[in-house]
Amino acid sequence: MLNVGIDIGGTKIAGGVVDADGTIVERLRVPTPADTGALAAAVADMVRTLAGRHDIHAVGVAAAGFIDRTRSIMLHAPNIDWHDEPLRAAFEARIGRPVTLENDANAAGWGEFRFGAGRGTTDLVMITLGTGVGGAVIVDGRLLIGAHGSAAELGHLNYVRGGRPCGCGQRGCLEQYASGRALQLELNDVADAGGIGAPLAAQRTAKGKIPASALALLLSEQDAGALEAVRRVATAVGEACGAFQAVLDPELIVLGGGVADLGEVLLEPTRIAYEAALPGFGDRPQARFVTAALGNDAGLVGVADLAGLRS
């Protein structure tokens, strides 16, 4: 059985044909149009192209935002102008067949649960550390969506009361301290402080920012300033995970997204902060921490699989 998965990102739309084992048979990629009508047309064109080459059973579309419990209405999207948008119906009208709509982080978490790092588990939390912070929760083998459809928005846990403003309208959300953007802030703060940040400061561009390529180089050289910036972000992740453990008690916590590509440089201080924040540490089982296995394909694979299961 073959299904199509479409993962709408802020800069690109990734699409692919996925088989029952989670293998991508064919993939396509196009830039994400700024106009919402053009975006829907691009998704429809992608599906039609893939369906013209394969016998497709179901279609799934993943997008960032708050989706209602019926998985029909995009209530709010952080990066695209969707507000109370009947998104599933809009895609179905253009594509000409039923569509499964899901939050992108949920889709990625489901992909890892079914075919990636979470295979064989029943309860897991996935945190995607990209431009923002997304989340997915699997409980007893089921994707948690909540009473109104917007469960597992882990990036919007209130982490610092009255802290940095967030695009969701609140202040102090976890994603302001644990995302790729947060890592950029921490890098520049460490560089501003001098001392351990002195080598870091030399890597700044003309616009005053430290590029990701410089971070990778400095980490490979064990630069103290770069390691300190990562430690700050990892601490936010680990402390939040201690709270997630108290509420959800997962057996596995999967870290995905671009920041998670740092691997053990991120995981080790994350585990330390998690243990310090975990209620009853030492007297209760702990979650294992791993990085995502499917990488950027997790959302595409996950939403394709959900489409097949829900059709």
Which tens digit of pLDDT belongs to each residue from 73-107? Answer: 999 887 788 999 999 999 999 999 999 999 999 99
Mean pLDDT of the chain: 93
pLDDT above 80 (res 199): no
From-to residues of CATH 3.30.420.40 in the chain: 2-112+296-310, 121-292
User: Is a pLDDT exceeding 70 seen at residue 55?
Assistant: yes
Quote the pTM value.
0.93
**Nearest C-alpha neighbor of 137 from the set 147, 243, 127, 129:** 127
Three-state DSSP class for residue 237: helix
Task: Report d(CA 148, CA 5) in Å as an integer.
Answer: 24
Would you put residue 227 in left (φ > 0), alpha (ψ -120 to 50) or beta? alpha
Classified by CATH at the fold level, domain 2-112+296-310 comes out as Nucleotidyltransferase; domain 5 (3.30.420)
Residue 152 has pLDDT above 60, yes or no: yes
CATH of region 121-292, choose from 3.40.50.12280, 3.30.420.40, 3.90.1010.10, 3.30.70.260: 3.30.420.40
Q: How many CB atoms lie within 10 A of CB 45?
A: 16
* Most trustworthy range by pLDDT among 129-133, 194-198, 304-308: 304-308
**Distance between CA atoms of 109 and 35, rounded to whole angstroms?**
28
Strand-pairing partners, residue 99, are: 59
Query: Which two tokens mark 17?
Result: 């044909």
Q: Based on C-alpha coordinates, what's the Rg of the chain?
A: 20
% of the chain residues with pLDDT over 90: 80
